[in-house]
C-alpha cells in the first residue's frame, strides 16, 4: 500500500470505473494529488505536464462543478482545454453519442472527459476513440474522480482510510457517486455502511460491499465519516419518498442524527446540496464539514488523473 | 406455404443415418426414403439398401431428424425490411436446420387482419426457403384493447394468436380473448410482463444491474402476469401458452396449472436456456433482451424444466435489430437478438454439457411445437412432410456474425464456439441448404 513511482503503478489508458482499481493504483493517484493540492495553494499554480496536449470536456449532461474542476485541472497542467456542452435532444441520443465521438476523435484530442446520462455510455465512447477517456459520470454507474477526491479528502483529514467507518446516506439507488465510493473505500480497507429507505436502495445492495441500514440513526452509530448524497427533486414527491418533509425527518442529516456518529466524524457531500432536504443548513456549514475541501481536492485529484493518464499517451 | 415439391421421379433415399425421431422415441441406425415431398419409408432396413432408381445420399452415420419448428420469430416484413425479410429469415432458418418458422404479428402494419395474413403467406410462398406460418394479433394493433377477428384469421391460416412483444395488461380483455378464442380452439400465446413493474428497467434486477447502474426488472413482473393468466384460463377454459418464461417461479406456476389439468403450456427461448445476466458483461447490448436474461440458477431451472417436460417448446425468439439501434448506451439500445441460425447449435451446447438428453431437447423443437400449433411436420413418419435435417453433432465451428444469413447481425453468440452443425436441410423433400455448398 506504500507509494512508489506513481507512473509505474497507475498505467491505464482510460479511467472509466473504480471497480477493479487496486489499492496501489488508488494510492498512486492520491499521492500525486496530494502534491497537486499543495501546488494549488501556491501563487504559481501552473505546470507544463500537459503542454501541447488537448483536453476536451464533453458533457452530455449539465454540470457546473465537475466541468469547471476538470477545466481548471487541465489548464493548471498546461493543456489546451475545450468545453463542449452537447444539448441532449430527446431523439437519437445514441447516434449523437457515437457521431460526436467520431467527430471529436477526428480533431485529435489527447484526453476526453465525458459525462453522460446513460450508464455505460462513456465506456461505449471509449471504444470508438483513440485518445484517453475519463468518465466524469455515466448514469447511475460510476463517477470515479468523485470517489478519488472523497478518498483524498478523507486521507488528508484523518491520515488514513483503512479501518475507518464510512456511512453513505441517501439516494443510493440512482447514485453513481455511491457506487464509485463503495468500490474505492472497500479497496482501501474502510468499513462501508449504506443508509437509505428501501425505495432508494438498489437490488442486492447488501452485495455491494457494505452493511445496509434503513434506520439512519442506527447506521450512523460510531461512524468516522458521514457521506451524504443528493436527492433529486423529482424523486421527492411520492414516487420514491412521500415528501421532502418526511425524507428530511428520517434521512436528513441534522444535529440529532449526527450526534450518533463519532464526535470527530467528518461530514461530506458531493454537491450540489439541497439544504433542508438531505442536510440541515447548519450542518453543511459545520466545523466538521469538509464539503469545501472536497471541492478543492476535486481539482487536485483531476490534475493527478490527467497527469497519470498523460504518461500513457503516445509521444510520437 | 411453399411451392409444391417436384414430381415423383425425384425420390431420394438417405442411407447410413442415425435416425432420431423425438415423437416416437426412435434413435437407431437406418435410412429414410423421400418421395413426392413426403417421407415414403424409413427404418433399419434402409440403412444400406437403397431401392433401385432413386438418388442416394450417404449420411455417413450422422443424425437424420425432423427439421426444427421455431414458434417465435420476429422479422421486419412488412414495414421494416432493413431488419429482416421473410426471405432472409428463411435463409437463416434453413442454414440453422429450422424448416418451419412461425412469424409474429409485430410488424408495420400489425398482422391483425385477414388480408395481412394472406399477404405474409403469399410473400412466403414466393420468397421463403422454409415453411412460414403466421401468428396473428389477438388485439387490434397489439393495443390490448379490442380483440381481432380470431375466427376469420384462423380460417385464413393463422396458427395461433398473440400480441407478440406486448402484454394485455387489462385482465378483463385477456379474459374475453381467452373466452372467445376457446370456441375456435384457438391458442393464445402471451408475452407475460407487467409493464408497470418493469418501469424503466432494462435488465434483470440484482447485483449485476446494480453494479452496472442500470434499472432492473424484477422477475416477478413476469410471474405475476402468468399467475393472473392461469386464473383466467381456469375461468374460461381457453388454450393458453406463455411465450417465453425465464424464471423458476414462472415454471412452478405453469407446473401447478398443468397438474390441475388446465390447457396451459409454455416456451423458453434459447437465450434464456444458454445465457445468463453475467454474459452482459460490460454493457453488451446484443444481450439486451426482453424478457431480460436472468440469473444462472434461473437458467438452470429452465434446463431442468425442459428435461422434465414442464417446458413444452424451445424457441429462438429471433429478433433482428440493426446496428444503429444496438450501438447505443445499454438502456437506450433496442431489445432482441437473432437466433434462427444458431438455435440448434446453441441448444446442442446443453446436450454436450450433459445438461439434457438429445431426445427431450429435439422434442421441444420438433413434435411439441407441431402438436401445439397443429402443424403436420416435426416427426419421422410415413406420410409426414419430408422436412428433415442432417446434423453432424460433433463438428466444431465458431460463430462469425459476418457470415450469418440474417440481415441483422445482432447475435449474442458472435465469436462463440459451437459444436454441432447442420449439413443439409430439406423442406418438403427439397434441399434448401447444404453445408458443403457453403464455400464462402
Chosen from A144, A200, A202 to mutate, greatest number of chain B CBs within 10 A: A202
- Distance between CA atoms of A286 and A288, rounded to whole angstroms? 5
- Comparing B8 with B142, the larger pLDDT belongs to B142
Beta carbons within 8 Å of B37's beta carbon, 6+ residues apart: B4, B5, B6, B385, B386, B428, B429, B430
Co-location of B294 and B432 in the same domain: no
**B414 and B330 together in one domain:** no
Q: How close does chain B come to A121, measured CA to CA in Å?
A: 5
Is B2 a domain residue?
Answer: no
Residues B221 and B349 in one domain: yes
**Mean of per-residue pLDDT scores for chain A:** 92
CA gap B40, B314 in Å, rounded: 28
Q: What average pLDDT does chain B have?
A: 95
Look at residue A84 in the predicted model and tell me its pLDDT. 84
Asked whether residue B290 is assigned to any structural domain, the reply reads yes
| Contact present, B187 and B372 (Cβ < 8 Å) | yes
Name the residue with cell 481539482.
A299
Instruction: Show which of B352, B373, B394 is a domain's final residue.
Output: B373
Cell digits of residue A12: 491505464
- Mode of pairing for the β-strands spanning B38-43 and B26-35: antiparallel
CATH number of the domain that residue B84 is part of: 3.20.20.140
Domain range holding B253? 67-373
Contact predicate B248/B272, CB 8 Å = no
State whether B107 and B228 are in the same domain.
yes
Give the number of domains in chain B.
Answer: 2
Question: A119, B331: Cβ pair inside 8 Å?
Answer: yes
pLDDT, average across residues A248-254: 96
Is it the case that residue B47 has pLDDT exceeding 60? yes
Q: Are residues B176 and B49 in the same domain?
A: no
Is residue B319 domain-shared with residue B427, that is, in the same domain? no
Say how many C-beta atoms besides its own lie within 10 A of residue B48's C-beta.
12
Nearest to B213 among A95, A124, A140 (CB): A140
Domain boundary among B373, B400, B429: B373
Q: Do B158 and B107 reside in the same domain of the chain? A: yes
Q: Are residues B328 and B362 in the same domain?
A: yes
Of B210, B324, B327, which has the smallest distance from its Cβ to A205's Cβ?
A: B210
User: What confidence tens digit (pLDDT) does each residue in A217-247 have?
Assistant: 999 999 999 999 999 877 777 789 999 999 9
Distance CA A21, CA A265 (A): 27
Kindly give the pairing relationship between strand B26-35 and strand B12-21.
antiparallel
- Shortest alpha-carbon distance between residue A22 and chain B (Å): 17
**Does the beta carbon of B211 lie under 8 angstroms from any beta carbon of chain A?**
yes
A96 → chain B, closest CA residue: B328
Q: CB–CB of B218 and A140 under 8 A?
A: no
Residue B1 lies in a domain: no
Is residue B379 assigned to a domain? no
pLDDT tens for B228-287 read 999 999 999 999 999 999 999 999 999 999 999 999 999 999 999 999 999 999 999 999
pLDDT at A141 over 70: yes
Q: How far apart are the first and last CA of chain B?
A: 29
Domain identity same for B57 and B167? no
Task: Give domain status of residue B245, yes or no.
Answer: yes
* Cβ contacts of B351 within 8 Å, gap of 6 or more: B357, B358, B361, B393, B420
Q: CB B335: neighbour CB atoms within 10 A?
A: 17
Write down the pLDDT at residue B213.
Answer: 97
Could you tell me if B283 and B418 lie in one domain? Answer: no
Of B373, B406, B421, which residue constitutes the final position of a domain?
B373
Whether residue B256 is contained in a domain is answered as yes
In the predicted structure, residue B365 carries a pLDDT above the cut 60: yes
Tell me the per-residue pLDDT of B173-214, one tens digit each, with 9 for 90 and over: 999 999 999 999 999 999 999 999 999 999 999 999 999 999
Q: Do residues B234 and B262 touch, judged by C-beta distance below 8 A?
A: yes
Residue B329 with chain A: CB contacts under 8 Å: 93-94, 97, 116, 118-121, 124, 138-139
Is a pLDDT exceeding 80 seen at residue B437?
A: no
Distance from CA of A105 to the nearest CA of B (A): 17
ω into B291 cis (within 30 of 0):
yes
Burial of B13 (0-12, 13-18, 19+ CB in 10 A): buried
Indicate if B353 and B433 belong to the same structural domain. Answer: no
**CA distance readout (Å), B73 to A174, A247, B132:** 36, 48, 10
With respect to residue B121, please indicate whether it lies within any of the assigned structural domains: yes
Q: 0.80 exceeded by the pTM? A: yes
CATH of the domain at B44: 2.30.40.10
Note whether B29 and B110 are same-domain residues. no
Q: H or E stretch including A293?
A: helix A291-310
Indicate whether A316 pLDDT > 80. no
Judge whether B207 lies within some domain: yes
Amino acid at each position: 500500500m506504500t507509494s512508489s513511482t506513481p507512473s509505474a503503478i497507475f498505467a491505464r489508458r482510460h479511467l472509466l470505473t473504480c471497480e477493479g482499481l487496486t489499492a496501489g493504483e488508488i494510492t498512486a493517484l492520491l499521492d500525486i494529488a496530494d502534491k497537486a493540492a499543495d501546488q494549488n495553494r501556491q501563487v504559481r499554480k501552473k505546470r507544463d505536464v500537459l503542454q501541447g496536449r488537448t483536453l476536451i470536456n464533453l458533457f452530455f449532461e449539465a454540470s457546473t462543478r465537475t466541468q469547471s474542476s476538470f477545466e481548471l485541472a487541465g489548464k493548471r497542467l498546461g493543456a489546451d482545454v475545450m468545453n463542449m456542452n452537447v444539448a441532449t435532444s430527446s431523439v437519437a441520443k445514441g447516434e449523437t453519442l457515437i457521431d460526436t465521438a467520431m467527430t471529436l476523435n477526428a480533431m485529435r484530442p489527447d484526453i476526453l472527459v465525458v459525462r453522460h446520462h446513460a450508464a455505460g455510455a462513456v465506456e461505449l465512447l471509449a471504444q470508438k476513440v483513440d485518445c484517453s477517456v475519463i468518465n466524469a459520470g455515466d448514469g447511475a454507474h460510476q463517477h470515479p474522480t468523485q470517489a478519488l477526491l472523497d478518498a483524498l479528502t478523507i486521507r488528508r483529514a484523518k491520515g488514513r482510510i483503512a479501518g475507518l467507518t464510512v456511512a453513505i446516506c441517501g439516494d443510493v439507488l440512482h447514485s453513481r457517486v455511491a457506487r464509485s465510493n463503495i468500490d474505492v473505500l472497500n479497496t482501501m480497507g474502510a468499513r462501508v455502511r449504506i443508509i437509505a429507505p428501501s425505495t432508494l436502495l438498489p437490488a442486492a445492495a447488501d452485495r455491494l460491499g457494505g452493511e445496509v441500514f434503513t434506520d439512519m440513526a442506527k447506521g450512523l452509530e460510531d461512524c468516522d465519516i458521514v457521506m451524504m448524497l443528493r436527492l433529486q427533486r423529482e424523486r421527492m414527491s411520492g414516487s420514491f419518498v412521500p415528501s421532502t418533509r418526511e425524507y428530511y425527518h428520517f434521512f436528513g442529516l441534522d444535529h440529532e442524527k449526527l450526534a450518533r456518529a463519532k464526535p470527530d466524524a467528518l461530514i461530506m457531500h458531493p454537491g450540489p446540496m439541497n439544504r433542508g432536504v438531505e442536510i440541515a443548513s447548519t450542518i453543511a456549514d459545520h466545523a466538521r464539514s469538509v464539503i469545501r475541501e472536497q471541492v478543492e481536492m476535486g481539482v487536485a485529484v483531476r490534475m493527478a488523473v490527467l497527469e497519470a493518464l498523460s504518461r500513457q499517451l503516445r509521444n510520437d | 406455404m411453399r411451392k409444391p415439391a417436384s414430381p415423383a421421379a425425384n425420390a431420394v433415399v438417405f442411407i447410413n443415418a442415425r435416425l432420431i425421431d423425438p415423437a416416437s422415441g426412435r434413435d437407431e441406425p437406418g435410412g429414410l426414403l423421400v418421395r413426392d415431398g413426403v417421407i415414403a419409408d424409413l427404418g433399419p432396413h434402409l440403412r444400406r439398401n437403397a431401392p433401385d432408381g432413386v438418388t442416394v445420399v450417404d449420411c455417413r452415420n450422422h443424425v437424420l431428424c425432423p427439421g426444427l419448428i421455431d414458434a417465435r420469430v420476429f422479422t421486419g416484413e412488412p414495414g421494416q425490411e432493413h431488419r429482416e425479410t421473410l426471405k432472409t429469415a428463411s435463409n437463416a432458418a434453413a442454414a440453422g436446420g429450422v424448416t418451419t418458422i412461425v412469424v409474429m404479428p409485430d410488424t408495420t402494419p400489425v398482422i391483425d387482419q385477414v388480408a395481412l395474413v394472406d399477404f405474409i403467406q403469399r410473400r412466403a410462398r414466393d420468397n421463403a426457403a422454409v415453411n412460414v406460418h403466421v401468428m396473428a394479433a389477438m388485439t387490434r394493433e397489439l393495443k390490448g384493447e379490442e380483440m381481432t377477428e380470431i375466427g376469420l384469421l384462423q380460417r385464413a391460416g393463422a396458427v395461433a394468436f398473440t400480441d407478440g412483444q406486448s402484454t394485455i395488461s387489462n385482465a378483463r380483455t385477456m379474459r374475453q380473448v381467452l373466452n372467445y378464442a376457446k370456441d375456435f380452439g384457438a391458442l393464445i400465446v402471451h408475452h407475460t410482463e407487467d409493464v408497470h413493474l418493469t418501469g424503466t428497467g432494462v435488465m434483470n434486477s440484482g447485483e449485476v444491474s446494480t453494479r452496472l447502474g442500470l434499472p432492473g426488472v424484477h422477475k416477478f413482473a413476469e410471474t405475476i402476469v402468468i399467475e393472473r393468466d392461469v386464473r383466467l384460463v381456469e375461468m374460461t377454459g381457453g388454450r393458453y401458452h406463455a411465450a417465453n418464461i425465464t424464471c423458476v417461479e414462472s415454471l412452478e406456476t405453469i407446473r401447478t396449472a398443468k397438474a390441475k389439468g388446465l390447457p396451459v403450456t409454455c416456451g423458453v427461448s434459447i437465450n434464456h436456456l444458454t445465457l445468463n445476466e453475467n454474459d452482459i458483461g460490460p454493457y453488451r447490448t446484443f444481450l439486451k433482451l426482453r424478457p431480460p436474461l436472468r440469473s444462472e440458477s434461473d437458467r438452470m431451472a429452465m434446463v431442468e424444466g425442459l428435461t422434465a417436460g414442464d417446458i413444452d417448446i424451445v424457441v429462438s425468439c429471433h429478433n433482428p435489430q440493426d446496428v444503429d439501434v444496438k450501438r447505443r448506451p445499454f438502456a437506450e439500445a433496442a431489445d432482441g437478438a437473432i437466433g434462427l441460425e444458431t438455435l440448434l447449435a446453441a441448444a446442442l451446447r446443453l446436450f454436450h454439457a450433459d445438461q439434457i438428453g438429445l431426445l427431450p431437447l429435439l422434442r421441444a423443437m420438433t413434435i411439441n411445437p407441431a402438436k401445439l400449433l397443429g402443424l403436420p411436420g416435426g416427426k419421422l413418419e410415413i406420410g409426414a412432410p419430408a422436412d428433415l435435417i442432417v446434423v453432424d453433432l460433433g463438428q466444431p465451428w465458431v460463430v462469425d456474425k459476418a457470415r450469418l444469413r440474417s440481415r441483422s447481425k445482432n447475435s449474442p453468440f458472435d465469436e462463440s464456439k459451437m459444436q454441432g452443425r447442420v449439413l443439409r436441410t430439406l423442406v418438403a423433400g427439397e434441399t434448401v441448404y447444404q453445408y458443403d455448398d457453403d464455400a464462402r
